[in-house]
Amino acid sequence: MLSSFNTALRQAVQRPAWQQNLFIPALALLTAVWIWLEGGRVLDVESLQILWRSVHGPQTLFECLLAPFKASSDAVVALMALFSTLSLWLFCRITRLIGIGSQTTFLLFLLLNFNPEYNDVRLQVSAFQPAMLLWLTGLYLFLAYYRNYLYWAFLAWALTAWLAALFVPAAAFWAGGFPLLFLFWPGCSNWRQRLRERGLFLLAYYALIVCIILIVAPWRETVTAWLPAFFQNLDLKRHDMSFFINANNPVDLNLFEGFLIALLLVAVNAAKIIGPVIVLLIILAVTRRAMNTVLEMRVRLFFAFSLGYFWVLSAFAFMYYDALPSDLYYTPITMLTLWLVSGVVFYALQRVKSGRIPPQRLLILAWLMVAYALASIITFGPSLTYLREAGEWARQQRAGGRVFSNSLTALYYGGGAPFRNSDGFAEMGNAVSHYYDISTGDLYIHIQGRKNPQQPEDFELFDILHTFTNERGDKAYILRPKAE
């Protein structure tokens, strides 16, 4: 069994380049399809809200991109799967471009493709999906052409960065601040000459940005209105952190101290998201520097500064938004980390190929790898399929009436707007919601969680038309008000 596993793994990592270019996207796409089916073809509430807005008055470029799909969750998820597959393929292309071998590249791909936290948000309907694809495209163009066409490579990177800002405005910080590293990118000429030439180049770059913002009135108004709110939110978050440290005797933190705490919290959250395996690789790379010798020095510095810049941006985003919008935003940090620790993966691969590891340990390692991969795909929590089934059933049976629900997910699949302030959201007995707007021709989807099995007092005022449940005991009742 161990020999057959080693043979299969060796055949996978030793494929020719053209076969690996086909095998990696195929495996990534197959993983995405498996995740979608394993999750019961149910999207999270935030994704459902984006789908609803894409049909009923899209406001952003990403929502306009989704509008032709008519809120079809399967079609939109197929698009997200395509974005994630292309991102993983570009990740591998960049890995090969910076001098990492095909076998190590394949192992790095497996570490990312079967990362549990990444797979949790892999199919999330988010504008960051195309933005991340553009970010990787810019990195690939820069690293592919910087040796012979440094300025053109920089312009290609800048173009993709600003295109990404059309989907995610926060990408403008990446496009605006990170080019400062371009000043110190190694070259053949004297360092003073490089600073002078590139300084003039970047001066023209920033002058062009300022001119465009001043000329375009909506952008100018957005920037002038955003800056005061940004500093105000930073100050409020600093004040909240003071109570977070000690609510009884809060410490008056200044802005710098609050930012340091935000950096620490982002680092802890990033360690949780990238997973214990990659954290172990980081520890080995830091403690045994001899392993980390795969990347060229300039590329290693480039990735290290990129990682640091993302860390700083994430800390500011944490202080401004109180949290990052999604764990998907940590994916570039995971990718940069994998590139930086690729030397450890290469070293481990050489130890396996040399035969110095006993067969018994290899067998245990093989089973751990399989278990880790399956754990990243299989859903261990309660299934949400019953919410989708209840909503779809109510949508078919409403016969001209409206659908109400105390679940935003069930409400969306029932044809309603998945927002708490919408007309369809109603909690039984809650006068603040639209509960008392339910008439005899309407249907009400009541979600009864297993942790709160006692039914509300008003439950007897309804007739039960159908019941959907999951394996954990959560129930969705399709109710109709009794005729008086």
| 105: Cβ contacts below 8 Å, ≥ 6 apart | 20, 92, 95, 96
Question: What is the arithmetic mean of pLDDT over 316-329?
Answer: 79
- Can you tell me the distance from the alpha carbon of 57 to that of 233, in angstroms, rounded to the nearest whole number? 29
Question: What is the arithmetic mean of pLDDT over 437-442?
Answer: 84
- Can you tell me the distance from the alpha carbon of 128 to that of 263, in angstroms, rounded to the nearest whole number? 22
Helix, strand and coil in the chain, % to nearest 5: 70, 5, 25
Q: Are 398 and 50 in contact (CB under 8 A)?
A: no
**Could you write out the DSSP letters of every residue in 12-37?**
HHT--HHHHHHHHHHHHHHHHHHHHH
Question: What is the arithmetic mean of pLDDT over 1-5?
Answer: 53
User: By mean pLDDT, which of 141-145, 322-326, 410-414, 441-445 is the weakest?
Assistant: 322-326
Q: Which comes out higher in pLDDT, residue 217 or 37?
A: 37
Q: Is the pLDDT of residue 429 over 80?
A: no
Q: Is the pLDDT of residue 15 over 70?
A: no
Q: What is the pLDDT of residue 18?
A: 58
Q: Which comes out higher in pLDDT, residue 434 or 6?
A: 434
Q: Is the pLDDT of residue 263 over 60?
A: yes
Mean pLDDT over all residues of the chain?
A: 84
Count Cβ atoms below 10 Å from residue 375 Cβ, excluding itself: 12
Q: What is the pLDDT of residue 208?
A: 85
- Tell me: the pLDDT tens digits for 266-296? 899 999 999 889 999 999 888 876 556 678 8
Question: What is the arithmetic mean of pLDDT over 221-238?
Answer: 80
Q: What is the pLDDT of residue 373?
A: 82
Question: What is the arithmetic mean of pLDDT over 108-134?
Answer: 93
- Can you tell me the distance from the alpha carbon of 296 to that of 303, in angstroms, rounded to the nearest whole number? 11
- Tell me: the pLDDT tens digits for 357-385? 777 777 887 788 888 888 888 877 788 89
| 94: Cβ contacts below 8 Å, ≥ 6 apart | 136, 139, 140, 143, 339
User: By mean pLDDT, which of 52-66, 237-251, 328-342, 380-394 is the weakest?
Assistant: 237-251
Residue 165 Cα distances to 62, 236, 315, angstroms: 11, 26, 19
Q: What is the pLDDT of residue 228?
A: 83
The percentage of residues in the chain with a pLDDT greater than 90, rounded to a whole number, is 34
Structural tokens at position 284: 């080995």
Q: What is the pLDDT of residue 364?
A: 80
Q: What is the pLDDT of residue 362?
A: 77
Question: What is the arithmetic mean of pLDDT over 438-461?
Answer: 86
Q: Which comes out higher in pLDDT, residue 10 or 396?
A: 396
Q: Is the pLDDT of residue 262 over 70?
A: yes
With cut-offs at 50, 70 and 90, classify the pLDDT of residue 127.
very high
Structural tokens at position 285: 């790379």
Long-range contacts, stretch 356-362, CB < 8 angstroms, 24+ apart:
359/2, 362/2, 362/6
pTM of the model: 0.88
Q: Which comes out higher in pLDDT, residue 201 or 55?
A: 55
Name the helix (H) or strand (E) containing 415: none
Question: What is the arithmetic mean of pLDDT over 424-445?
Answer: 81
For the CA atoms of the chain, what is the radius of gyration?
26
Q: Which comes out higher in pLDDT, residue 460 or 289?
A: 460
User: CA 248, 250, 256: angle at the middle one, nearest 5?
Assistant: 160
Q: Is the pLDDT of residue 336 over 90?
A: yes
Domain definitions of the chain by residue range:
385-481
Residue 391 Cα distances to 131, 313, 479, angstroms: 32, 40, 12
| 342: Cβ contacts below 8 Å, ≥ 6 apart | 95, 100, 104, 108, 294, 295
Question: In a 3-state reduction of DSSP, which class is residue 118?
Answer: helix
- Can you tell me the distance from the alpha carbon of 414 to that of 407, in angstroms, rounded to the nearest whole number? 10
